[in-house]
Chain A
Amino acid sequence: MTSDNDRRRGLFARLRGRPAARSRGRRRLGAAVRLLAALMLAGGAYTAFAPSVQAQDTPMSGVAADGKALFNESCVSCHGRNAQGVEGRGPSLVGVGSASVEFQVGSGRMPMVRQEAQAPRKPPVFTPDEIRQLGQYIQELGGGPELPPGEDLHEDGNLAAGGELFRINCAQCHAFGGGGGALSSGKYAPTLKPASDRQIYAAMLSGPQNMPVFGDNQITPEQKADIIAYIQENLNHNQDPGGFNLGRYGPSTEGLAIFLVGIVALVFTTLWIAGKS
C-alpha cells in the first residue's frame, strides 16, 4: 500500500493520510508552534526533574563567599570563572567537593607552580581557615564528597584488616612501605609519609591526580579508618625492627648497600691485610 512516494514523507504525515494542500505561511506557523511546544516541554521537564543550581538560586553562605573571593584571586586563572574550568589549563571543579579542595590545597599541590605531569606536594599556600573557606565555596557550588569531622580518623582502625586492604588496594602504586612508586610518563604515586589522616581520607574519597576514587561503596568508612590506621601506625610511626630501612625501596637499595658498604669495606680490608707483608 505504501508507495515510494509515501516512504519519502515523514511518519506523522503518513498516519495523517494524504496531505491537504496547505499554504506556505500556514506550514511555517505550524512548525514554529510545534518547536515552541517541544521546547517548553523539555524546559518544563528539566525544571521539574533536574536539581536546582544553587549557586544561582540560593544565596551563598558567608564562609563560601570568602572562599569565592580567594578563588577569584588565586584559582580563577586555571579553573575559570565559577570554577567551570579552562580548556587545556585546569579542570572544572563543579562537583569535586570540599574533600578534593582539602587534599589539593591542604597538601600544597594547589596552586600549581607550573603545568607538568603531576603536581608535587609542597608547603601549603593557604591557612587552614582559608582552605575551609575554599572548600565551602566549592561544596556549595556543586556538591561532592565531604570529609567527616575531626583530625584523627583512625581511632578504631583495625591494623590487620587495614594491612590487608592496604596491600590489595594501595601497595601496587604506593609500594609495600608507603614510600611511593613510579607511574607512566613522569606521573607517580607519592610517598604517604607526610600525609595526615584527613589527607589520606580525602585522597581515597576524591581520587586526586592519577589515583582512582575509592568511594564509600568500594571501601566503607570503617575500612578507610583501618587503612589509615595501618599507614599511620605501622608504616609511618612504627620503628623498623631490623635497623635502618634503606628507604624501604626493596632489593634495589639492598643491592646498592652490599656494594657500597660491604664490598668497599672488605676491599679496604684486603688492602690493609696485603699491605702488612
Chain B
Amino acid sequence: MKRRKFEMAAVPGNVARGVDDRFQAATPLRRLLNKVFPDHWSFLLGEIALFSFIVLLLTGVFLTFFFEPAMTEVIYNGSYAPLRGTPMSAAYASSLDISFDVRGGLIMRQMHHWSALLFMAAIVVHMLRVFFTGAFRKPRETNWIIGSLLFWVGFLAGFTGYSLPDDGLSGTGLRIASGIMLSIPVIGSWVTSSIFDGEFPGTIIVSRFYIAHVLLIPGLLLALIGAHLGLVFKQKHTQWPGPGRTNDNVVGERMFPRYALKQGGFFMVVFGVIALMAGLFQINPIWLFGPYEAWVVSAASQPDWYVMFLDGSTRLMPAWEINIPIGDGYVIPPLFWPTVVLPGVLVGMSVLYPFIEARRLKDYRSHNLLQRPRDVPARSGLGAMAVTFYLVLALSGANDVIADKFNISLNAMTWGGRIGLLLLPPLAYFVTYRICLGLQQHDREVLAHGVETGIIRRLPDGRFVEVHQPLHREDGELEYVGWVVPKKMNRLGALGPAIRGFFYPIEKPAEAPVSPAPPVDSDTERSEITSGERR
C-alpha cells in the first residue's frame, strides 16, 4: 500500500470544498463577502456602540461569577479596612469583594461601567449623525425607531446595573426611581409595590433587577441590535452623493477582506480605549458611598450621564402641585411632569419624527443618498434645538457640582436653567438655520464664480478685485449636487498632491511638491506692475 503524500497547500481548498459539498455555502457566502459598504468616518459611529456592547457582555459575564444578588444582611470582613465590621447587604459585600479581593475584579468592574457609558454615548452620537444627514428617511424609518428604542432599553440596562451594587449612591437612585413611579396618577402605588414587593426598599429589588439586568434587558438589546443590523444589511447602507454615487447603487468597499479587517481593527481600538479608561480613571467608587441606608444621602448624588437630563428636569421643575378635589382629594405631584411625562413625550417625538417630516415635506420617496446638514436648514435647526434642550437639562442635572466648583450660586444655576431651557433652544434653531443658509449661499457662490485664489488685482480704475479660479471651463453655472464644493486652491491641485499619512507622512513625494517657478530672464529689468493691461 502506497502512502499518499500529504499536501499542506491543498488543505484549505479541500476543507472548503468539503464544506461546500455538504452545506452548499459558497453561493450565499460569496454574496455576503462581496457585500459593499460605503466608506465615511461618520458611518463608523454606530459600530462604537456595537463594540462597546460586546465588551459589556464579556466583562458582565465575568462579574456575574462573583456577584451575589441578595439583600440578606452580612457583616463585611474583606480587605477594605474602612468598612470592615459594617453590616451591609450581600450584594454590596460581593461588589466590594469584586473590587478588592477578586483578582482583576476592579478593572473588570470599571471596564463594564466605562463601556456602559460609552455604549450610551456612542448611541447618541450615532443617532445625531443619522438625524442630521437624513438617514432616517424612507425606507429606514423602522431602523430609526429600533435605534431610539435601543437608547431607552440601554437606559434601563444602565439604571438596573447602577442599582445592583446596593451602595449609597445606587440606593439613592432607586429611592428617586420609586418616587417617580409613585408620582404616576392612579397606578403609581400599585406599580411601586409590585416592583419593590411592598414598600421601598423591600428585600427583593436587587434580585429582581439582577435578572432584568443580566437576562431580560440584554436579551432585548441583543434582539434589537440583531434587527437593527439585519435591516442595515437588507436595506443597504446610505451613502453620500458624489461621483458615480446615485440613489440606486452602493459605492464602497467589499465586506471581505477590507471592510471586515477594518472593523476587526476598530473593535480592537474600542476595546483598547475602554480598557485604557478603566485602567486610568476611577469610576463609581462604591466603597466611598458605603452601604445604602435610607438616612444616608451624599452631596453630588447624580445618576450616570444619560439619566442626568431627568435629574435636571426635576431640579428645574417648579413645585407646582395639582390638587384634584374628588373624594378625599387627589394630588398629582410636580415630579410627575419632568420624570414621566417628559420622557414619554421625548420617546414619542423621536419615534414619530420620520413620519412627521415626510408628511410636512410631502416627500414619500425612498432615499438612499444622505443630505448635508446645511441643505436642510429646518431639520438641522430642529436638531440643534433638541441638543440644546438636552444639554440644558443635563447640565442642570449636575448644577450643584457646577455651582460649587465654579463659585456660582445654586439658586442662580436653577433659574439660569429654567430660563435657558425656554430661551436657548429657539435661539439655537435660529442660529443654526442662518448658519445653514450662509453655508448654502457660499457653496452656490463658489460654484458660480470659482474658488478664491488669494491673488489681488488692481483694476485700471483703482478698484481691487480678487482673482477667482472658475470650477468649469464654459460659461454658465455648475449645478449643486449635494456634496462638498472645493473651496480652497489646494483642493484643486494648486499645491501639488497632498502627502498621504494621518499622523505622519507615509510616502515621500516623487518630485518637488511645488509647481516650478516661471523661468527668469536674466537680461530683462525688473519692472513695477502698472495699472496697464499687462498680465
**Residues on A close to B: CB < 8 A?**
117, 159-160, 162-164, 167-168, 171-177, 179-186, 188-189, 230, 234-235, 240-259, 261-263, 265-267, 269-277
Say whether A249 contacts B405, CB under 8 Å: yes
A-chain residues with CB within 8 Å of residue B114 when the two chains form the complex: 258, 262
A-chain residues with CB within 8 Å of residue B411 when the two chains form the complex: 184-186
Is B157's beta carbon under 8 Å from chain A?
A: no
A-chain residues with CB within 8 Å of residue B169 when the two chains form the complex: 176, 250
| Known A-B contacts A159-B81, A167-B296, A269-B269; A241 and B100 likewise in contact (beta carbons under 8 Å) | yes
Bound form: Cα–Cα A261–B275 in Å: 12
Bound form: Cα–Cα A207–B287 in Å: 28
| Known A-B contacts A175-B300, A254-B304; A181 and B273 likewise in contact (beta carbons under 8 Å) | no
Residue of A nearest to B120 (CB): A258
Bound form: Cα–Cα A185–B412 in Å: 8
A-chain residues with CB within 8 Å of residue B269 when the two chains form the complex: 266, 269
Instruction: Please report which residues of chain B, range 252-288, place their CB below 8 angstroms from some CB of chain A when the two chains form the complex.
Output: 253, 258, 262, 265-266, 269-270, 273-274, 277, 279-285, 287-288
Say whether B298 contacts A271, CB under 8 Å: no
Bound form: Cα–Cα A19–B119 in Å: 97
Which residue of B42, B265, B288, B308 contacts A248 across the interface (Cβ within 8 Å)?
B288
* Interface bits B450-492 vs A (CB < 8 Å: 1, else 0): 0000000000000000000000000000000000000000000
Say whether B296 contacts A251, CB under 8 Å: no
Say whether B401 contacts A250, CB under 8 Å: yes
| Known A-B contacts A167-B290, A172-B297; A272 and B118 likewise in contact (beta carbons under 8 Å) | no
Instruction: Give 26 A-B contacts (CB < 8 Å), ordered by A residue.
Output: A167-B168, A168-B295, A171-B299, A175-B299, A177-B285, A181-B400, A184-B410, A186-B407, A186-B412, A188-B403, A241-B287, A242-B99, A242-B110, A242-B282, A243-B282, A248-B285, A250-B401, A255-B394, A256-B305, A258-B118, A261-B281, A263-B48, A267-B125, A270-B45, A270-B48, A272-B502
A-chain residues with CB within 8 Å of residue B407 when the two chains form the complex: 186
**17 new A-B pairs (CB below 8 Å) besides A182-B399, A241-B100?**
A160-B82, A167-B296, A171-B299, A176-B285, A183-B410, A184-B410, A184-B411, A251-B304, A252-B300, A252-B305, A252-B401, A254-B281, A255-B306, A259-B121, A265-B273, A269-B270, A273-B262
Which residue of B106, B266, B301 contacts A250 across the interface (Cβ within 8 Å)?
B301
Is B205's beta carbon under 8 Å from chain A?
A: no
Is B504's beta carbon under 8 Å from chain A?
A: no
Closest 7 CB pairs of A and B: A255-B305, A181-B299, A242-B282, A274-B41, A186-B409, A252-B398, A270-B44
B-chain residues with CB within 8 Å of residue A248 when the two chains form the complex: 285, 288
Which residue of A179, A241, A259 contacts B282 across the interface (Cβ within 8 Å)?
A241
Say whether A273 contacts B44, CB under 8 Å: yes
Minimal beta-carbon separation of B436 from chain A (angstroms): 22
Partner-contacting stretch, out of B83-91, B193-201, B208-216, B425-433: B83-91
Residue of B nearest to A186 (CB): B409
Is B289's beta carbon under 8 Å from chain A?
A: yes
Which residue of A160, A164, A182, A254 contacts B400 across the interface (Cβ within 8 Å)?
A182
B-chain residues with CB within 8 Å of residue A272 when the two chains form the complex: 502
A-chain residues with CB within 8 Å of residue B295 when the two chains form the complex: 168
Is B302's beta carbon under 8 Å from chain A?
A: yes
A-chain residues with CB within 8 Å of residue B287 when the two chains form the complex: 241
- For chains A and B in complex, what number of residue pairs have CB atoms within 8 angstroms? 216
Which residue of A163, A172, A267 contacts B290 across the interface (Cβ within 8 Å)?
A163
Say whether B308 contacts A254, CB under 8 Å: no
B-chain residues with CB within 8 Å of residue A256 when the two chains form the complex: 305
Which residue of A167, A252, A258, A267 contacts B298 across the interface (Cβ within 8 Å)?
A167
Minimal beta-carbon separation of A241 from chain B (angstroms): 6
Bound form: Cα–Cα A93–B306 in Å: 49
B-chain residues with CB within 8 Å of residue A259 when the two chains form the complex: 121, 305
Residue of B nearest to A265 (CB): B273
B-chain residues with CB within 8 Å of residue A247 when the two chains form the complex: 405
Minimal beta-carbon separation of A276 from chain B (angstroms): 8
A-chain residues with CB within 8 Å of residue B42 when the two chains form the complex: 270
Say whether A159 contacts B281, CB under 8 Å: no
Say whether B265 contacts A273, CB under 8 Å: yes
* Interface bits B228-270 vs A (CB < 8 Å: 1, else 0): 0000000000000000000000000100001000100110011
Bound form: Cα–Cα A185–B308 in Å: 22
Bound form: Cα–Cα A259–B45 in Å: 13
Say whether A171 contacts B296, CB under 8 Å: yes
B-chain residues with CB within 8 Å of residue A265 when the two chains form the complex: 273
B-chain residues with CB within 8 Å of residue A174 when the two chains form the complex: 299
Instruction: Please report which residues of chain B, range 299-358, place their CB below 8 angstroms from some CB of chain A when the two chains form the complex.
Output: 299-306, 308
| Known A-B contacts A164-B86, A274-B39, A274-B44; A258 and B300 likewise in contact (beta carbons under 8 Å) | no
| Known A-B contacts A244-B280, A251-B304, A275-B502; A176 and B265 likewise in contact (beta carbons under 8 Å) | no
Is B3's beta carbon under 8 Å from chain A?
A: no
B-chain residues with CB within 8 Å of residue A164 when the two chains form the complex: 86, 290
Bound form: Cα–Cα A270–B394 in Å: 27
Minimal beta-carbon separation of B206 from chain A (angstroms): 20
B-chain residues with CB within 8 Å of residue A262 when the two chains form the complex: 114, 117-118, 121, 273-274, 277
Minimal beta-carbon separation of B6 from chain A (angstroms): 40
Is B122's beta carbon under 8 Å from chain A?
A: yes
A-chain residues with CB within 8 Å of residue B85 when the two chains form the complex: 160
Is B404's beta carbon under 8 Å from chain A?
A: yes
B-chain residues with CB within 8 Å of residue A263 when the two chains form the complex: 48, 118, 121-122, 125
Pick from A162, A248, A258 the residue with the most CB of B within 10 Å. Answer: A258
Pick from B48, B82, B117, B411 the residue with the most CB of A within 10 Å. Answer: B82
A-chain residues with CB within 8 Å of residue B405 when the two chains form the complex: 247, 249
Say whether A270 contacts B41, CB under 8 Å: yes
B-chain residues with CB within 8 Å of residue A180 when the two chains form the complex: 299, 404
Which residue of A163, A234, A273 contacts B41 across the interface (Cβ within 8 Å)?
A273
Say whether B106 contacts A242, CB under 8 Å: yes
Is B40's beta carbon under 8 Å from chain A?
A: yes
Minimal beta-carbon separation of A12 from chain B (angstroms): 56
Say whether B253 contacts A277, CB under 8 Å: yes
Say whether A277 contacts B39, CB under 8 Å: yes
B-chain residues with CB within 8 Å of residue A244 when the two chains form the complex: 280-282
Residue of A nearest to B503 (CB): A272
A-chain residues with CB within 8 Å of residue B409 when the two chains form the complex: 117, 184-186
B-chain residues with CB within 8 Å of residue A167 when the two chains form the complex: 168, 289-290, 293, 296, 298
| Known A-B contacts A176-B298, A269-B269; A254 and B284 likewise in contact (beta carbons under 8 Å) | yes
Say whether B84 contacts A255, CB under 8 Å: no
Bound form: Cα–Cα A261–B274 in Å: 10
Residue of A nearest to B413 (CB): A182
Which residue of A168, A173, A185, A249 contacts B401 across the interface (Cβ within 8 Å)?
A249
Minimal beta-carbon separation of A261 from chain B (angstroms): 6
